C-alpha cells in the first residue's frame, strides 16, 4: 500500500485532499512564445468565467430591488410593514391577535408565519423520508451490491433525479393524493404529508449521489484495518464507514435541504395551498415558494402585494444561500478534521 | 492522489463476515436487509411513476397528438405548439448559455490559479447558483430581463411601446440559460479533468502554446463531456416550469411563437395548466397523461444519452491512464 492512502502517522500533517477536486492540474510551464491575441483570448475567458459571479449578484440585486419599497415607499407601507408581517395583528373580526396570510381580502393581511410553518412542515416530511432512504440505498449500492447490480441500480436512481418536478407534482396531485387518502383517511386530500413525500422523490437522488460518492471515497485501508481488528461488517459500517463518509453525506443532506425549501412545482400542485397555522401534518399547507408562484401572476406591478412577494423571494434566496454556505463550510471543517479521509 | 488512484480502490466491505457471533450475524443481516430494502423502495418509486404514466398515457399517444394544436378548451387535439415552443426556447437557451458555461469551465480548470481569490469566488458563485431555487430564477427573470432589460429596450427602440417589456420567449430562454449554467460548468470541468496531463505535456513539448494546446488538444478530448453538459442542460430546461411562469410561458396560444418577443407554450407548463387549471379534469385527463408521457420520455432519453456518453468518456479516460 502506498503512503498516500495509508492512515496518517502520529503527528503527521497532511494536506486535505478530496477525490472530486484533487485532479491532475495542467502544467504551468509555457515554452513557446504566444502571440498577443492569445492573451486577449485568456482575458475573454476570465471575463466570461466571472459571469457566474455576476449572475449571483444580479439575482440578489434585482430581487431585493423590487422588495425594497417595503422599507421606504409610503404607499406600500400604508398597507404592509415588516413588523405587520412578522408580529401577530388583531384584525377586525378576529378574537385575538393572529398571523394571517390573506393578501387579496378587503383588508389585505400579510402575516408570514402560516407560510413559514407550511414550508417547514413540508420540508420536515421530505427530509424525514429522503435522508434515511438516500443514505441507506447509497450504503447498499456502494457496499453490498455486486458490481453488476451497482451498474444498473445507480443510473436508475440518478434517472429519478431527471424527472421534472412538474411531473412529480402531477403524480402527487392526481395519483398519490388519492392513494394516501384511501390508506390514511386524511381529511384534506392535499396536505403536508402528500407533498412532502412527493418532494422527497426529488431529494433522494441528491442525497444518494453524494452519499454514494462519499462511501466509495473512504480509503479501503480503513475497512481493511477495521476488519483486521475483528470487527463485523455492520460494526465497520457504523464505526468506520459512516463517520469517515459523514462530510459527503452532510453535503448531500445540505443540498437536499436547500432543494426542499426552494422546490416550487411539487408543493404548488400537491400541498393544498391553504395558509393555515397548525401542527397537524395532515392539514393543507401553503409554502413560501408556492405562494410566489401562485400569486405573482395576478398582482399589479409595484403594489404592496407585488413587493411582498419579491420580499418572500429574497427570503428564499438568502435561506438557501445560507444553507449552501454553512453546508460547504461544515464539510470543509469535517474534512480537515478527518485528515483527508473523504 | 489522483482521481485514478482513488477510483481504483474505493472502500468495499469484505464479501464474508468475519464476526461470527450470533449477534454480529443478526446485525449484519439487518444492515444488509434494510439498506437493500431502501434501494429497492427507491427503484419501486421510479417504477410506479413510470408504470402509471405509461399505462394511462400511451393510449392517447399518436402522430396527430404530436402534430395538432389543442382543441375544444384543451380537451381534444394535441400539443404541437408546445413542442415547437420548447424546441425554440431550448435552442435559444443553449446558444446563450453553453458557450459561457464551457468558457467558465475552461478558465477554471486550465487557466485559473487554484488559490486565487477570483477562482475561489467563481467556484462559490457556481455552487450557490446551483442551489438557488427555481422560483427565485423566475423572480429574477421578471425583475431583470422583463422589467429592466426589456422595458429598457422598449424605451430606447420602440418609443415605450410594450414589445420586449413583457414576458417573452427570449427572456424565458435567457432565464433558463442562467439556471442551467452550473450544469454545463460542472460537466465540462469533469470532462477537462479526465483529459490526461500527458496530452497537455506532449502538446507543449511539441512547441504548441497554451492556447493552441487548449483549443486543439484539450477541448476536442473533452468534447464528449461538454456534450453531456449540454444534454443535461437541455433536459433541465425542458422540464422546469417555475422559472418561466412569469417570463414567457403562455397558458394557451392560438398560433406558434412569431418571434423573440412572442410568448410560447411548452409541455412542462402545459402539464401544470392541464393538471391544475382545467375546468373539466376528467375530460382533460387523457391529454394530461399523454403530455406527461411525452415530457417524461423526452427527459429520460436525454438523461440516458448523457449517462451513456459519460460512461464511455470515463472508460476512455480510464484506458488512457
Which residue among B1, B197, B268 sits closest to A4, beta carbon to beta carbon?
B1
Grade residue A6 by pLDDT with cuts at 50, 70 and 90.
low
Nearest to B268 by CA among A341, A168, A80: A168
Q: Are B196 and B321 in contact (CB under 8 A)?
A: yes
Beta strands in chain B (DSSP E): 70-71, 76-77
Mean pLDDT of B228-257: 89
Q: Is the pLDDT of residue A338 over 80?
A: no
Higher pLDDT residue, B259 or A317?
A317
Angle B24-B28-B29 from CA coordinates, rounded to 5°: 115
Query: Could you say which of 3.40.50.300, 1.10.3720.10, 3.40.50.2300, 3.50.50.60 is the CATH number of the domain covering A109-338?
Result: 1.10.3720.10
Test A230 with B18 for CB contact under 8 angstroms: yes
- Local structure of residue B264 (DSSP, 8 states): B
The beta-carbon neighbor of B200 closest among A26, A50, A324 is A26
* Mean confidence (pLDDT) of chain B: 87
pLDDT digits (tens, 9 = 90+) for B278-303: 777 788 888 899 999 999 999 999 99
**Inter-chain residue contact A164 with B239, CB threshold 8 Å:** yes
Mean pLDDT of A216-223: 88
Residue labelled with grid coordinates 470515463? B314
Q: How many Å lie between the alpha carbon of B308 and the closest alpha carbon of chain A?
A: 10
Q: Which of residues 264-323 of A touch B (CB under 8 A)?
A: 264-265, 268-269, 289, 292-293, 296-297, 301, 309-310, 313, 316-317, 320-321, 323
Interface test with B, best of A18, A24, A151, A286 (most B CBs within 10 A): A24
Residues in chain A: 342
Determine the pLDDT at residue A30.
Answer: 54
* Partner B contacted by A255 (CB < 8 A): yes
What is A68-134 written as a DSSP string?
A: THHHH-HHHHHH--HHHHHS-B--TT-SS-B--EETTSSS-EE-SHHHHHHHHHHHHHHHHHHHHHH
Smallest CA-to-CA distance from A70 within A318, A299, A306, A307 is with A307
A167: contact with B, CB 8 A cutoff? yes
Q: What are phi and psi of B280, to 5 degrees?
A: -125, 90
Predicted interface score ipTM higher than 0.85: yes
Q: Which of residues 231-260 of B touch A (CB under 8 A)?
A: 235, 238-242, 245-246
The domain over range B63-320 is classified in CATH as 1.10.3720.10: yes
Judging contacts by C-beta atoms under 8 Å, the chain A residues touching residue B9 are 5, 219-220
pTM strictly above 0.90: no
Question: Mutation test of the interface with chain B: which of A2, A232, A251, A327, choosing the one with the most B Cβ atoms within 10 A?
Answer: A232
Per-residue model confidence (pLDDT) at position A1: 43
- Residue B210's nearest CA partner among A49, A44, A33, A45 is A33
Q: Where do we find the cell 475561489?
A: B120
Residue of B42, B49, B107, B310 for testing the chain A interface, max A β-carbons within 10 Å = B42
Taking only the tens place, the pLDDT of each residue in A268-305 is 999 988 888 888 888 889 999 999 999 998 888 888 89
The answer to which of A87-96, A293-302, B3-12 has the lowest mean pLDDT is B3-12
Give SS3 for B154.
helix
Q: What residues of chain B lie within 8 A of the CB of A168, using their CB? A: 49
Q: Distance of CA A4 to CAs A9, A244, A248, B146, B200, Å?
A: 11, 16, 20, 54, 25
CB contact under 8 Å between A317 and B133, yes or no, is yes
Q: Residue B137: is its pLDDT beyond 50?
A: yes
pLDDT tens digits, one per residue of A43-88: 888 899 988 899 999 999 999 999 998 888 888 887 888 877 887 8
Please give the mean pLDDT across all residues of chain A.
85
| Distance (Å) from the alpha carbon of A28 to chain B's nearest alpha carbon | 9
Please indicate if any CB of chain B lies within 8 Å of the CB of A156: yes
CA atoms within 13 Å, Cβ hemisphere of A279:
0
* Among A127-141, A175-189, B60-74, B233-247, the least confident range: B60-74
Among A38-42, B3-7, B185-189, B313-317, the least confident range: B3-7
Please, which contacts does B23-32 make with residues 24 or more away whose CB atoms are closer than 8 Å? B24/A232, B24/A234, B24/A235, B25/A232, B27/A232, B27/A234, B27/A235, B28/A232, B28/A233, B28/A234, B30/A234, B31/A139, B31/A233, B31/A234, B31/A237, B32/A140, B32/A144
CA distance B123 to B129: 10
Amino acid at each position: 500500500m502506498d503512503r498516500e492512502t495509508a492512515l496518517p502517522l502520529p503527528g503527521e500533517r497532511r494536506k486535505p485532499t478530496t477525490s472530486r477536486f484533487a485532479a491532475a492540474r495542467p502544467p504551468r510551464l509555457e515554452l513557446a512564445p504566444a502571440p498577443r491575441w492569445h492573451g486577449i483570448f485568456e482575458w475573454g475567458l476570465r471575463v466570461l468565467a466571472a459571469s457566474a459571479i455576476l449572475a449571483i449578484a444580479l439575482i440578489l440585486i434585482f430581487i431585493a430591488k423590487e422588495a425594497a419599497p417595503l422599507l421606504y415607499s409610503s404607499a406600500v407601507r400604508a398597507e404592509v410593514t415588516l413588523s405587520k408581517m412578522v408580529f401577530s395583528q388583531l384584525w377586525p373580526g378576529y378574537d385575538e391577535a393572529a398571523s394571517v396570510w390573506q393578501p387579496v381580502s378587503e383588508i389585505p393581511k400579510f402575516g408570514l408565519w402560516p407560510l413559514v410553518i407550511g414550508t417547514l412542515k413540508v420540508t420536515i416530511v421530505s427530509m424525514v423520508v429522503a435522508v434515511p432512504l438516500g443514505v441507506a440505498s447509497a450504503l447498499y449500492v456502494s457496499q453490498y451490491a455486486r458490481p453488476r447490480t451497482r451498474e444498473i441500480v445507480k443510473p436508475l436512481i440518478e434517472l429519478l433525479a431527471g424527472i421534472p418536478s412538474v411531473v412529480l407534482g402531477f403524480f402527487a396531485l392526481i395519483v398519490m393524493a388519492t392513494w394516501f387518502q384511501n390508506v390514511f383517511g386524511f381529511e384534506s386530500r392535499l396536505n403536508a404529508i402528500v407533498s412532502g413525500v412527493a418532494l422527497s422523490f426529488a431529494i433522494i437522488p441528491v442525497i444518494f449521489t453524494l452519499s454514494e460518492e462519499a462511501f466509495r471515497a473512504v480509503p479501503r485501508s480503513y475497512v481493511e484495518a477495521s476488519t483486521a481488528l475483528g470487527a463485523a461488517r455492520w460494526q465497520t459500517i457504523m464505526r468506520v464507514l459512516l463517520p469517515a463518509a459523514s462530510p459527503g453525506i452532510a453535503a448531500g443532506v445540505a443540498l437536499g435541504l436547500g432543494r426542499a425549501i426552494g422546490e416550487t412545482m411539487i408543493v404548488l400542485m400537491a400541498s393544498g395551498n391553504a395558509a393555515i397555522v397548525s401542527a397537524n401534518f395532515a392539514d393543507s399547507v401553503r409554502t413560501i415558494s408556492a405562494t410566489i408562484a401562485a400569486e405573482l401572476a395576478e398582482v399589479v406591478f409595484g403594489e404592496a402585494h407585488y413587493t411582498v412577494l419579491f420580499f418572500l423571494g429574497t427570503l428564499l434566496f438568502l435561506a438557501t444561500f445560507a444553507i449552501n454556505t454553512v453546508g460547504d463550510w461544515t464539510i470543509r471543517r469535517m474534512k480537515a478534521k478527518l485528515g483527508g479521509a473523504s | 492522489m489522483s482521481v485514478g488512484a482513488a477510483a481504483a480502490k474505493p472502500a468495499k466491505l469484505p464479501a464474508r463476515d468475519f464476526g461470527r457471533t450470533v449477534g454480529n450475524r443478526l446485525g449484519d443481516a439487518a444492515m444488509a436487509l434494510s439498506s437493500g430494502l431502501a434501494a429497492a423502495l427507491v427503484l419501486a418509486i421510479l417504477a410506479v411513476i413510470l408504470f402509471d404514466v405509461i399505462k394511462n398515457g400511451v393510449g392517447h399517444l399518436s402522430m396527430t397528438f404530436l402534430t395538432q394544436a389543442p382543441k375544444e378548451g384543451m380537451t381534444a387535439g394535441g400539443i404541437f405548439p408546445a413542442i415547437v415552443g420548447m424546441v425554440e426556447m431550448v435552442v435559444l437557451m443553449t446558444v446563450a448559455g453553453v458557450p459561457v458555461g464551457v468558457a467558465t469551465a475552461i478558465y477554471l480548470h486550465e487557466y485559473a490559479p487554484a488559490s486565487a481569490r477570483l477562482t475561489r469566488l467563481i467556484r462559490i458563485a457556481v455552487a450557490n447558483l446551483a442551489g438557488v431555487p427555481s422560483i427565485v430564477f423566475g423572480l429574477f427573470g421578471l425583475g431583470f430581463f422583463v422589467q429592466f432589460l426589456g422595458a429598457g429596450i422598449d424605451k430606447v427602440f420602440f418609443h415605450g411601446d410594450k414589445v420586449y417589456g413583457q414576458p417573452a420567449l427570449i427572456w424565458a430562454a435567457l432565464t433558463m440559460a442562467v439556471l442551467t449554467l452550473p450544469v454545463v460548468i460542472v460537466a465540462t470541468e469533469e470532462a477537462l479533468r479526465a483529459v490526461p496531463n500527458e496530452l497537455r505535456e506532449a502538446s507543449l513539448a511539441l512547441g504548441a502554446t497554451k492556447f493552441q494546446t487548449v483549443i486543439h488538444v484539450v477541448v476536442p478530448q473533452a468534447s464528449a463531456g461538454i456534450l453531456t453538459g449540454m444534454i443535461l442542460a437541455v433536459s433541465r430546461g425542458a422540464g422546469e416550469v417555475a422559472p418561466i411562469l412569469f417570463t414567457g410561458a403562455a397558458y394557451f396560444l392560438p398560433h406558434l411563437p412569431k418571434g423573440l418577443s412572442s410568448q410560447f407554450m411548452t409541455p412542462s407548463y402545459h402539464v401544470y395548466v392541464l393538471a391544475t387549471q382545467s375546468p373539466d379534469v376528467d375530460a382533460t385527463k387523457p391529454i394530461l397523461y399523454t403530455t406527461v408521457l411525452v415530457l417524461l420520455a423526452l427527459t429520460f432519453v436525454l438523461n440516458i444519452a448523457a449517462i451513456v456518453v459519460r460512461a464511455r468518456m470515463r472508460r476512455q479516460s480510464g484506458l488512457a491512464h
